Structure 1
Amino acid sequence: MEDLLGRLLETAEDIVLMRDVPALNSDQVSFAVPLRGKLAREVFDESLTHDRGLPEFQRYWSFDKSSGHIKGLSVYLGTRLDSRVLRPEGLRMLGVRELQSLGGKGKLADGFWRDAGIVVYSAGTPNLNTARALCQKGVEGELDLPLIWGFSDLDYVPKDGGVGIVSIENPQRVILGEEAVKVLEDIEAYQGNKKGACRLSRGGGGDWGADWVVFADSDAGCLVDWVCGEATREKLLQAYNGLSERVYGDQIEELQTKRDSSRHEFLAELDR
């Protein structure tokens, strides 16, 4: 997909700066943009070219032509979308902090749930294999439990005719230990007695849950309608100027026409 990030910024209906989510590069800023229409369709179609025959990728996953949105999501579908489609283009799925920020700004359509990744409470059940794999990565990096693992730090491997969820080589955005507990408490989703690995999801009314154990579930009640990225101040300002021109250009031209007409009338009356 050629310069998806650039094309998203050039045609963005909105640009939200994610100041609460530090960019990995010091000269860049994190942002979120809507994903819909033609580019959403391209993203959806590209996702279907990756391991489509595996059973975990045959759950509900659809492009809604009427709304222009991708619908459906699961841990597996989200990991594939991020790792195979978005990440190579410098983009990523929303994590818990991005969803919190967009929800607080009233940017998320009501009535649809959204996945934010995985919470790992221990190296046990449910989802034993995933919990073990992510805990092992955490041990290597001396990370304290619980761990909040967003899609941007996850990968998958074909395994025994299915899909195994694993960490990327160098995870960058894992939220861990006391900080993870605080994040979960802030969204009223902390489960102190839970074990294993569970989905972290935001419900359609803004409620959160961190105890959903079925990684494969997906239905039309989920939207993939925003994505995140990082860009320089100059690139974001250029994108915002283009957005302003698209949104306000006609209004500005109309006001300028009215101003010029009023001025001519005033001068004509003044010179009589």
Structure 2
Amino acid sequence: MVNINTLDPSASPLDYYGFELRRFREAAGLTQKQLGDIINYTGSMVGQVETARKLPTLDFSQRADAALCTGGLLTRLHPLVMRSQLPAWFQQVAELEARATQMNTFHTHLIHGLLQTPAYARAVLGVLDQSNLDDRAAARLARQHVFEKQEPPAFWAILSEAALLQEIGGKEVMREQLAHLLRFEEDPLINVQILPFSAGAHAGLQGSFDVYHFEYDPAIVYTEGYGGSGHPTANRATVKKCSLRYDHLQAAALSIRDSAELIRRVMEDRYGDQLA
């Protein structure tokens, strides 16, 4: 167990968060239980967050900020805390997502992490490793807060039809996941297109990749490999080639409207859901 008296705020964003939460609570003259009662959490939960044994949720952070008059500090720290819980090799990607003004993604067998439901994320992350699954899933889902920014990025996702048919987590999980994709049908910033099997040979046969665009910095291409490794590059030739590949993939993919119809059809026929 971490001793709160020796908690080092420089050890990690989570430790810093816990240190600041305790500092503001004590300055307000509140016990952990009293603060918990005010923000509708248990005193145990407050204590676990203060000792860096529990990840704070966004709701917890917002409530604690309001109760302790922190000026929004804990809410601002929350994205850093959650990002720090991602695998070390992926934290740079999360930073790219947070800074990008536009993201173009192509995935062959999985729904992109920024579009995953909690149950789908748990099923993906739980393959071969069930340890700390709640925290790992929460860290992945926290990345989706990029869509809640004052100026959210434009997001283009091309998914192979295989990603709809790969039954991850069971039929109920897949029904929920595909229904979640359909919620973006009318969203001008989050665009989902399906690359159908009928497209045949296509420009993405070499595998999944993402292209991140920024307001002032050069674009970056990210590809992922086995063994917990990712490969971001700003090499101009690579970015140009991948951007051209993406253009061809968009041309071969179904329109946003037709993609939604295919998603509905798969959800009904394969996962047994009848939409009204």
Which structure's relative contact order is higher, taking Cα pairs within 8 Å and 6+ residues apart?
1
> What TM-score, normalized to structure 2?
0.28
Which structure's residues are more often strand, by fraction? 1
> What TM-score, normalized to structure 1?
0.28
Which structure's residues are more often helix, by fraction? 2
